[in-house]
Amino acid sequence: MPLLVMKFGGTSVADLGRIRNAAEKVKREVERGYDVIVIVSAMSGKTNELVAWVEQTSPLYDAREYDAVVSSGENVTAGLMALTLQEMDVPARSWQGWQVPINTTSAHASARFVSIPRDNIEAKFREGFRVAVVAGFQGLSPEGRITPLGRGGSDTTAVAFAAAFGAERCDIYTDVDGVYTTDPRIAKKARKLDRIAFEEMLELASLGAKVLQTRSVELAMRYKVRLRVLSSFEDSDENSGTLVCDEEDIMESKVVSGVAHSRDEAKMTLLKVADRPGIAAAIFGPLADAGVNVDMIIQNISEAGFTDMTFSCPTNQVKRAEKAIADARAAGAFAFGELVVDDDVAKVSVVGIGMRSHAGVAATMFRALARENINIKVITTSEIKISVLIDRKYMELAVQALHDAFELDKAA
Ligand code: ASP
Ligand code: MG
């Protein structure tokens, strides 16, 4: 029988009524002839509550117990979803991660998949069960412990199952009706996209569009899983939501597909570092070891053997970065004149696979920002993306200006 993966996020299973609503969508697909693997998140807010309980109980918690507690919210929704389906006469069975088993690495709180054997679930389908409800977010380490897949990890569970079972599609049911050209709370003219390419979605997800966990998009791209994002609160048909797919499956697309933003960025500049081989390694090695997620990096032109090195990182990692730099300096790894921190910046990016074959996107972007008198502090580009750092207070204005400049409110 053809197989579908349907994933329901926290708001879609927030209470018994919503679980019932989700179960009805599952039942409809079963009636259409699909076997279904349902992946559920914890009820919305549950995982945060569990994290808080762990931190209150033991501030320097044992990682394995954190994992055990924090991954437990999904067990409740998986069981309740299976019961609800049974009440609707749909033969369903729930599965916790270890029962499948979902084999992962043993990394605390951010494990990675190793394998998902199909035998156990397929045996149940052969017995006549039509739905396997799997607790999202959970894995099993080689040591036999529960390993969560990182916050938002149920998306990744869903894609991994779709890949492992060769599902026809992976439907991600959530509280928005698809992927938008930009955040509709910022730009009223934001438009829902019917299709978006994996690469574009990957950029948008990692730039702060919170619809999908970034790793789920990476995995979908690698295994060519057709991924659909749609609302669990609306009636849906074959064409609802946004399909995240291979670029070959997109007939027409604009040069720029979306504008992303990320509010909490900081810019740090090391003034007067020696311009010599190994200097970048000496600076960014300790930052990486300290777990600082460095994003943009710029090295200025050198003068008299010295240069300035600027990089960006999330605002909440500034303290950690400062300490890593101070420690490395004290240990004699490198010297510098001054460290200048600007933690009042935001990043705005335009993304689109069309940039590969069209010139002039950067010029259009910079002109649009100039018209609004917005000063650009840092620029970086990749094949399908241009990002700028600007003063945070202009972030909304920049997003709106760019959305207009690239006419994203109009379909291709
Ligand atoms: N419940 C987990 C979280 O809140 C995983 C998920 O919902 O995707 O991060
Ligand atoms: Mg989520």
Closest by CA to 352, choosing from 128, 127, 180, 197, is: 197
Specify the residue with its C-alpha closest to ligand 1, atom 6. 152
Identify the pLDDT of residue 253: 78
Residue ending a domain, among 160, 175, 190, is 175
Identify the pLDDT of residue 303: 86
Tell me, yes or no, whether 239 lies in a domain: no
Q: Give the residue numbers spanning the domain of 30.
A: 3-175
The reply to whether 170 and 274 lie within a common domain is no
Tokens of 407: 């006419």
**Ligand 1 pocket member 136 (CB < 6 A):** yes
Specify the residue with its C-alpha closest to ligand 1, atom 9. 151
Distance 153 CA to ligand 1 centre (A): 6
**Ligand 1 pocket member 42 (CB < 6 A):** yes
The reply to whether 150 and 18 lie within a common domain is yes
Tell me, yes or no, whether 363 lies in a domain: yes
Return the ligand 1 atom nearest residue 157 CA: 8
Q: How distant, in Å, are the alpha carbons of 151, 280, 291, 295 from that of 288?
A: 21, 12, 5, 11
Query: What's the domain count of the chain?
Result: 2
The reply to whether 278 and 374 lie within a common domain is yes
Specify the CATH number for the domain of residue 301.
3.30.2130.10
Identify the pLDDT of residue 45: 97
Residue ending a domain, among 125, 158, 175, is 175
Rounded Cα distance, 73 and 52, in Å: 13
Identify the pLDDT of residue 412: 77
Task: Pick from 151, 173, 210, 214 the residue to mutate for probing ligand 1's pocket: most ligand atoms within 8 Å of its CB.
Answer: 151
Tell me, yes or no, whether 181 lies in a domain: no
The reply to whether 15 and 160 lie within a common domain is yes
Distance 42 CA to ligand 1 centre (A): 6
Tell me, yes or no, whether 251 lies in a domain: no
Q: Evaluate whether 131 touches 169 at the Cβ level (below 8 Å).
A: no
The reply to whether 59 and 156 lie within a common domain is yes
Average pLDDT, 10 consecutive residues per value, the chain (412 residues): 96 98 98 97 98 95 95 98 98 98 89 93 97 97 94 96 97 94 93 94 83 93 96 89 93 88 95 94 96 92 91 94 96 95 96 92 97 96 95 97 96 81
Q: Which ligand is nearest to the CA of 214?
A: 2
**Ligand 1 pocket member 47 (CB < 6 A):** yes
**Ligand 1 pocket member 41 (CB < 6 A):** yes
The reply to whether 161 and 297 lie within a common domain is no
Distance 256 CA to ligand 1 centre (A): 31
Distance 36 CA to ligand 2 centre (A): 20
Distance 369 CA to ligand 1 centre (A): 36
**Ligand 1 pocket member 137 (CB < 6 A):** yes
Residues near 64 by beta carbon (within 8 Å), at least 6 away in sequence: 108, 145
Identify the pLDDT of residue 180: 94
Identify the pLDDT of residue 301: 85
Q: Which ligand is nearest to the CA of 154?
A: 1
Tell me, yes or no, whether 140 lies in a domain: yes
| Residue 3: other Cβ atoms inside 10 A | 19
Distance 266 CA to ligand 2 centre (A): 25
Tell me, yes or no, whether 221 lies in a domain: no
Q: What are phi and psi of 231, to 5 degrees?
A: -85, 140
Distance 257 CA to ligand 2 centre (A): 22
Identify the pLDDT of residue 95: 98
Q: Evaluate whether 88 touches 27 at the Cβ level (below 8 Å).
A: yes
**Ligand 1 pocket member 151 (CB < 6 A):** yes
Tell me, yes or no, whether 270 lies in a domain: yes
The reply to whether 266 and 171 lie within a common domain is no
Rounded Cα distance, 236 and 254, in Å: 26
Tell me, yes or no, whether 373 lies in a domain: yes
Return the ligand 1 atom nearest residue 152 CA: 8
Specify the residue with its C-alpha closest to ligand 1, atom 5. 152
Identify the pLDDT of residue 108: 81
Q: Which ligand is nearest to the CA of 136?
A: 1
Identify the pLDDT of residue 189: 94
Identify the pLDDT of residue 300: 85
Distance 310 CA to ligand 2 centre (A): 33
Specify the CATH number for the domain of residue 40.
3.40.1160.10
Residue ending a domain, among 125, 151, 175, is 175
Task: Pick from 12, 154, 172, 219 the residue to mutate for probing ligand 1's pocket: most ligand atoms within 8 Å of its CB.
Answer: 154
Distance 190 CA to ligand 2 centre (A): 21
The reply to whether 163 and 278 lie within a common domain is no
